[in-house]
């Protein structure tokens, strides 16, 4: 009787251990799937936030000012243009000559910026 109980117990222990070892790869696959789901949910939340911002008025205004080069009434758009000497030598085309008028008196740089930003003639300081 003792041998029969021991045999049944041994069979149950072997069966139980084989089920545990068979379930380990399944548990690892489950853990990987859970981690991927969490990562995809974070990505979805970020994309939803980005979509909501793209639908907002703040995004439209930011795009209009930065990339659309648009201004509001009463504003002046200023686009700085680099001087030819600051450009790389490959970018400077020396074959084209642009006529320059020399009849007007040369303005100081601060006077040019004053006129650009304030849309008025600079004061005479002399």
pLDDT in tens, 93-123: 555 555 555 565 677 788 888 888 887 777 7
Q: Is the dihedral of CA 22, 24, 25, 29 positive or negative?
A: positive
Q: Domains of the chain: which residue ranges?
A: 2-63
Question: pTM of this prediction?
Answer: 0.42
pLDDT tens by residue, 36-63? 999 999 999 999 999 999 999 999 999 9
Q: Are 78 and 119 within 8 A, CB to CB?
A: no
Q: How many Å apart are CA 79 and CA 54, to the nearest integer?
A: 26
Under DSSP, the state recorded for 82 is -
- Classify residue 111 as exposed, middle or buried by CB count within 10 Å of its CB (0-12, 13-18, 19+): middle
Residue 54 in tokens? 């793209």
């Amino acid at each position: 009787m003792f041998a029969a109980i021991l045999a049944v117990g041994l069979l149950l222990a072997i069966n139980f251990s084989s089920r545990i070892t068979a379930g380990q790869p399944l548990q690892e696959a489950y853990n990987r799937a859970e981690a991927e789901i969490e990562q995809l949910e974070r990505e979805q939340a970020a994309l939803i936030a980005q979509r909501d911002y793209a639908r907002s008025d703040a995004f439209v205004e930011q795009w209009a000012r930065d990339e659309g080069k648009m201004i509001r009434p009463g504003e002046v758009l200023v686009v700085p243009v680099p001087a030819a000497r600051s450009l790389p030598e490959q970018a400077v085309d020396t074959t084209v000559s642009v006529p320059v008028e020399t009849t007007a008196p040369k303005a100081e740089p601060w006077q040019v910026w004053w006129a650009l930003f304030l849309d008025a003639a600079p004061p005479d300081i002399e």
